[in-house]
Amino acid sequence: MIRAVRIVFFGTPDFAAASLEALLASRHDVVGVVAQPDRPAGRGMKLHKPPVAAVAEREAIPLLQPAKIRSVEFLASIRGFSADIAVVVAYGRILPKPLLEAIPRGFLNVHGSILPKYRGAAPIQRAIEAGETETGVSIMLLDEELDHGPVYSIARTPIGPDERSPDIFSRLAQIGGREIVSVLDAIESGTARAVEQDHGAATFAAKIEKDEGDVAWTLSAKSIYDRFRAYDPWPGIRATIEGEPVKLIDVRPEVAVSAAPGTVVVVDRESFVVATANGSLRVLVAQRPGKPRVSGGDFARGARFAAGTRLS
């Protein structure tokens, strides 16, 4: 019989909360939770509790939300849980060596990519941005290098041509929860095997920056659309139209047209279509700075451009 493993869980957002919920529903014992501190958010900048912290409080699990994780006091608190193993899911900080050595059987990480591809902070968005048709969840053993440790399991899932980041985040969160429980069961039954990554094939998924949402008509329609899917809901994509950074709220790639990039080729009731370096892009919803969202058709009529207009 597989015995219950004593787990200390590190995580912060909704993506991590799904794994915590799966562990709580399993035979294993979550003895402590570590999450990022509450942060101000919203118009009133009120303090909001991270989803993982909310789950811990709901279930009356001992919760730590340290501002610093390199203190002697925090390390003593972690050791005080007497955990067998730690599970880390999107905690948001790099764990120092003394912490990694504080848990007897180490730290398992639920990572949202097919390692060794897309190591780093934004694996899901970067895979979509790159036009990948498949992604997955890897369960790995953490070491001191970024997403570098040996991998226990990989669960794969397709990326649909129109799926956006929230769709993939939601699905991978559920897959990650199932996989971490399965790996813990395998570790306790003695059937788990961790395989060294092919480090030469590693790619890096850097954190998304706000200005990456700026797109130009000299890109291909597919490239713009893949960024649109990847950067939903933040930072979104923006195109400069008549000197303004206009947010493109909803777009679709269209067929190739014989027009220079940036040329409006169609304006209809609901949308407008712009030629790109390869293919064209239909803009269904757009938003000027400080203005409400409007249909692409209303935007084009308000801007007084028609088929043949060359956008800046």
The pLDDT-based confidence of 172 (bands split at 50, 70, 90) is very high
Provide the pLDDT for residue 77.
97
**Contact between 179 and 156 (Cβ < 8 Å):** no
pLDDT at residue 46 is higher than 90: no
Start-end of CATH 3.10.25.10 domains in the chain: 210-303
What's the pTM value of the predicted model, to 2 decimals?
0.95
pLDDT computed for residue 57 by the predictor: 98
Residue 35 or residue 41, greater confidence = 35
pLDDT of residue 96: 95
Report H helices in the chain: 14-24, 51-58, 72-80, 97-100, 123-129, 165-189, 221-230, 296-303
25: CB partners within 8 A, 6+ apart: none
User: What is the reported pLDDT for 131?
Assistant: 98
The angle subtended at Cα 123 by Cα 52 and Cα 173, nearest 5°, is 40
Query: What pLDDT digit, counting tens, does each position of 64-92 carry?
Result: 999 999 999 999 999 999 999 999 999 99
- Measuring CA to CA, which residue among 268, 15, 197, 43 is closest to residue 124? 15
pLDDT exceeds cutoff 70 at 134: yes
The residue to which tokens 């968005």 are assigned: 125
| CATH architecture of the region 6-205 | 3-Layer(aba) Sandwich (3.40)
Res 256: pLDDT: 87
Mean pLDDT of the chain: 96
What pLDDT was estimated at residue 43? Answer: 75
- Choose which CATH entry (1.20.1250.20, 3.10.25.10, 3.40.50.150, 1.10.10.1200) describes domain 210-303: 3.10.25.10
42 vs 265, higher pLDDT: 265
Is residue 24 predicted with pLDDT exceeding 80? yes
Q: What is the pLDDT of residue 154?
A: 98
The ranges of the chain annotated as CATH 3.40.50.170 are: 6-205
Can you read off the two tokens belonging to residue 142? Answer: 């953490």
What are residue 41's DSSP bridge partners?
A: 46
* In the predicted structure, residue 187 carries a pLDDT above the cut 60: yes
pLDDT at 263: 97
Evaluate if residue 42 carries a pLDDT over 70: yes
User: At residue 1, does pLDDT exceed 60?
Assistant: no
